[in-house]
């Protein structure tokens, strides 16, 4: 009998059975898909970004399709942490997959309060800090574009929890490795790369922006090469595990991120096309490992073959 490959990976102290994670905001609160398939097959479920108070989000239209992508300005509409814990979490108890909450605050104090509240909830395995939302007026990306602010938010969350802390970065900066290093130094155990890229679209008939919020965040296959590049840049400059996210539609996309150095990957926009994408990727990664005789997926993490040069290491001037 052929033995099954070991797909388990470690992300910042959290051991997960496979590297496939559903991205925040694209998989609801984790329970919506229970009637369609068994979410226990997933490595991790990351739920929609939560805040202390419920948030209505931005007025519609707040999501539109673009060629090979999706532009959204949801504005972090969510039910709030208390309602999530009371009403949604109980239905997730039977799922044998870790739940990670993605958190958002209007101030550093609010991020710290969220961490404190989550600390007592055993079912939540780790915290992903969203310092990268482009669609909210206060907080969000403002923290993710400034290395000092990013470090302060990370520090306050880390100090208020014993759970692994993952920081999700924005691509909307000049050098993502500066922010990555800042949050690593502040105690982050892992980094997710990346959130959406700023974008906009105009209706030429009305000459109005297609999104009420005017600007939104671009996701989907359109961003994959850029997300891959950012993962390459971050893994080159930090020691903590990196989770790759951006435009992953199938197992080959997932493998690209893993080969570049991501310890795990997240599936986002693809869920809106086929909600089974993530479990298809788990199945196809298993088949790939069997076919290629890879007994443990860790063997291919960071196995990118280059000419030995790495121009993305900070301080390396060769790329000038």
Ligand X SMILES: Cc1cc2nc3c(=O)[nH]c(=O)nc-3n(C[C@H](O)[C@H](O)[C@H](O)COP(=O)(O)O)c2cc1C
Return residues touching ligand X (CB under 6 A).
23-26, 48-49, 63, 70, 72, 74, 76, 102, 130, 168, 195-196, 219-220, 223, 245-248, 267-269
Provide the 10 A C-beta neighbour count for residue 302.
16
Annotated catalytic, 68? no
Cβ-based nearer residue to ligand X, 89 or 267: 267
Cβ-based nearer residue to ligand X, 72 or 160: 72
Could you tell me the smallest distance in angstroms from the CB atom of residue 303 to ligand X? 22
Cβ-based nearer residue to ligand X, 52 or 74: 74
Could you tell me the smallest distance in angstroms from the CB atom of residue 200 to ligand X? 15
Catalytic residue among 11, 44, 74, 133: 133
Going by C-alpha positions, the residue among 17, 14, 20, 16 that lies closest to residue 5 is: 17
69-72 and 9-11: which strand pairing? Answer: unpaired
Cβ-based nearer residue to ligand X, 5 or 258: 258
Cβ-based nearer residue to ligand X, 5 or 25: 25
Q: Which residue is nearest to ligand X (CB)?
A: 25
Could you tell me the smallest distance in angstroms from the CB atom of residue 76 to ligand X? 6
Going by C-alpha positions, the residue among 98, 82, 79 that lies closest to residue 39 is: 98
Q: Which residues pair with 244 in a beta bridge?
A: 193, 265
Going by C-alpha positions, the residue among 107, 129, 140 that lies closest to residue 46 is: 129
Could you tell me the smallest distance in angstroms from the CB atom of residue 276 to ligand X? 15
Query: Residues 276, 42: contact at Cβ < 8 Å?
Result: no
Cβ-based nearer residue to ligand X, 134 or 147: 134
Could you tell me the smallest distance in angstroms from the CB atom of residue 68 to ligand X? 10
Query: Residues 121, 89: contact at Cβ < 8 Å?
Result: yes
Q: CA of 163: how far to CAs of 10, 31, 95, 158, in Å? A: 14, 22, 19, 8
Could you tell me the smallest distance in angstroms from the CB atom of residue 305 to ligand X? 25
Residue 145 to residue 131: CA distance in whole angstroms? 8
Q: Catalytic residues, which ones?
A: 133
């Amino acid at each position: 009998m052929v033995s099954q490959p070991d797909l388990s990976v470690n992300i910042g102290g959290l051991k997960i059975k496979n590297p496939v994670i559903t991205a925040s905001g694209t998989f609801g609160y984790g329970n919506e898909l229970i009637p369609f398939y068994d979410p226990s097959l997933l490595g991790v479920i990351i739920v929609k970004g939560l805040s202390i108070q419920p948030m209505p989000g931005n007025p519609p239209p707040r999501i539109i399709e673009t060629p090979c992508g999706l532009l959204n300005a949801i504005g972090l509409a969510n039910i709030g942490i208390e309602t999530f814990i009371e009403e949604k979490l109980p239905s997730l108890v039977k799922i044998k997959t870790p739940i990670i909450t993605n958190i958002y605050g209007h101030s550093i104090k609010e991020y710290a309060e969220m961490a404190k509240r989550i600390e007592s909830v055993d079912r939540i395995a780790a915290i992903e800090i969203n310092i990268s939302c482009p669609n909210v007026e206060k907080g969000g990306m403002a923290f993710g574009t400034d290395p000092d602010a990013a470090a302060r938010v990370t520090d306050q969350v880390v100090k208020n929890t014993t759970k692994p802390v993952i920081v999700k970065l924005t691509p909307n900066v000049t050098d993502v490795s500066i922010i990555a290093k800042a949050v690593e130094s502040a105690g982050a155990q892992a980094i997710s790369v990346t959130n959406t890229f700023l974008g906009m679209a105009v209706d030429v008939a009305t000459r109005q922006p297609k999104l009420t919020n005017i600007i939104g965040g671009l996701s989907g296959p359109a961003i994959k090469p850029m997300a891959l590049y950012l993962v390459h840049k971050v893994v080159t400059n930090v020691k903590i595990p990196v989770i790759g996210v951006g435009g992953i539609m199938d197992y080959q996309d997932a493998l690209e991120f893993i080969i570049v150095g991501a310890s795990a990957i997240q599936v986002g926009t693809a869920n809106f096309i086929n909600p089974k994408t993530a479990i298809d990727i788990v199945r196809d990664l298993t088949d790939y490992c069997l076919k290629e005789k890879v007994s443990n997926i860790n063997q291919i993490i960071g196995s990118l073959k280059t000419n030995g040069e790495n121009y993305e290491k900070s301080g390396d001037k060769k790329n000038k």
